Amino acid sequence: MVKTDETLNMLKELTDARAIPGNEKEARDVMSKFISPYADEVYTDNLGSLIAKKVGQENGPKIMVAGHLDEVGFMVTRIDDKGFIYFQTVGGWWNQVMLAQRVTLLTRKGDVTGIIGSKPPHILTPDARKKPVEIKDMFIDIGASSKEEAEEFGVKPGDSVVPYFEFTQMNNEKLLLAKAWDNRIGCAIAIEVLKQLKDQQHPNVVYGVGTVQEEVGLRGAKTSTNTIQPDIGFAVDVGIAGDTPGISDKDADSKIGEGPQIILYDASMVSHKGLRDYVLDTADEKKIPYQYATIAAGGTDSGSIHLTANGVPALSITIATRYIHTHAAILHRDDFENAVKLIVEVIKGLDKDKVNHITFN
């Protein structure tokens, strides 16, 4: 049973929204609903990224806090004569987490429930049981008996296919299980940062951003950052939790509940040293817990943010999360709250002199 509180309700609505790359409207509408009360202006760029502007001091440094709206999912590519649906992955998937999972097809006629089909073990050879099914051979069963019936249901090539999962507060109430933590938790952080700055004095203009198409190449971060032209950029996202069986410290050593992750390096960028040092100094001063992390085989929106115009000092602050890029993942509410606290304190301490010092040192 989910406790009724404003933050949990926001997190539930954000994660329940269905929004794969290129079709982020549901998540954008939810983010807009929750962030608008704390913003002076809310608008979108031409690719669909949401930008919420909050002025602390006119002409102050522009600080961007960006989470991405999209989640990994699938797209319908064809319907066979028997009514089975074939698809393209949109974002990164590991084939072993996909079979027999429930999905929702978003059609113009409404939602269609499906399941990614699998063979029963009784008819598999011993060798076949050991081999993962290739994604290109997978299909979705929507209960149609023919191509014509599937089309009558409203299914067409290009339709979004989204993992189905219900938001769940676990027995340890700080642990939250949901689909699409990657990256609705980043959107939630951007919302909560603007909320906590609502009555705070600070010498900046803050932009809470929900970017589009991060999972297919950090695309919305390019357009939204070009629109804003920030002086400082933060990407807020999920990171890898290394606290489950089978993951060694060499792969990932972060633990859920031990603070937000400060990303030193990922495949899309090297974190800006001046900004990183300032954030770490702020965390130490305010006694906010944090962890260091690297992501050698993945990137975040900072990869696009820092390359905008003549360069933007940028840093990724992430939430250690178990089981990302699957139907459901687990994170710790304390990490979310400490990430918000850290970014709010960082923003309160920034001004033109501090930004100049960060940029040129």
Distance of alpha carbon 236 from alpha carbon 43, whole angstroms: 20
Query: For position 1, what pLDDT does the model report?
Result: 35
In a domain, 297, yes or no: yes
Q: Are residues 134 and 35 in the same domain?
A: no
Domain CATH code at residue 201: 3.40.630.10
Active site residue 148: no
In whole angstroms, give the CA distance from residue 42 to residue 29: 11
**Is 347 within the bounds of a domain?**
yes
- Between residues 126 and 174, the one the model is more confident about: 174
Q: What is the pLDDT of residue 2?
A: 39
Share of the chain above pLDDT 70, in %: 99
| Whether residue 299 is found in the same domain as residue 199 | yes
Per-residue pLDDT tens digits for 188-215: 999 999 999 998 889 999 999 999 999 9
Question: How long a stretch of residues is the chain?
Answer: 361
Please identify, among 163, 198, 220, the residue that sits at the C-terminal boundary of a domain.
163
Are 75 and 159 within 8 A, CB to CB? yes
pLDDT higher than 70, residue 53: yes
pTM of the model: 0.95
pLDDT tens string 171-184:
999 999 999 999 99
Do residue 191 and residue 339 come from a single domain? yes
Q: In this predicted structure, which of 73-82, 265-274, 334-343 has the lowest mean pLDDT?
A: 265-274
Summary mean pLDDT of the chain: 95
Specify whether 21 is located in the same domain as 154. Answer: no
Enter the tokens of residue 339.
């990430």
Kindly state whether residues 118 and 92 are assigned to the same domain: yes
> Out of 24, 71, 192, 214, which one is annotated catalytic?
214
Average pLDDT over residues 258-282: 96
Q: How confident is the model at residue 4 (pLDDT cuts 50, 70, 90)?
A: low
pLDDT for position 322: 98
pLDDT, residue 123, reads 78
Residue 89's CATH number: 2.40.30.40
Least confident of 55-64, 126-135, 218-227: 126-135
Domain's final residue, options 135, 163, 191: 163
Please tell me the predicted confidence (pLDDT) of residue 129: 82
User: Residue 3 above 80 pLDDT?
Assistant: no
pLDDT digits (tens, 9 = 90+) for 305-343: 999 999 999 999 999 999 999 999 999 999 999 999 999
Taking CA atoms, 174 is separated from 3, 321, 337, in Å, by 11, 13, 11
In tens, the pLDDT along 14-39 reads 999 999 999 999 999 999 999 999 99
For residues 202 and 244, membership in a common domain is answered with yes
> Could you tell me if 151 and 280 lie in one domain?
no
Residue where a domain terminates, one of 163, 192, 224: 163
- Indicate whether 67 and 86 sit together in one domain: no
Same domain, 135 and 283: no
Q: What share of the chain is helix, strand, coil (3-state, %, to 5)?
A: 30, 25, 40
Q: Which domain holds residue 151?
A: 73-163
Measure Cα distances from 14 to 19, 70, 181, 189 in Å. Answer: 10, 11, 9, 11
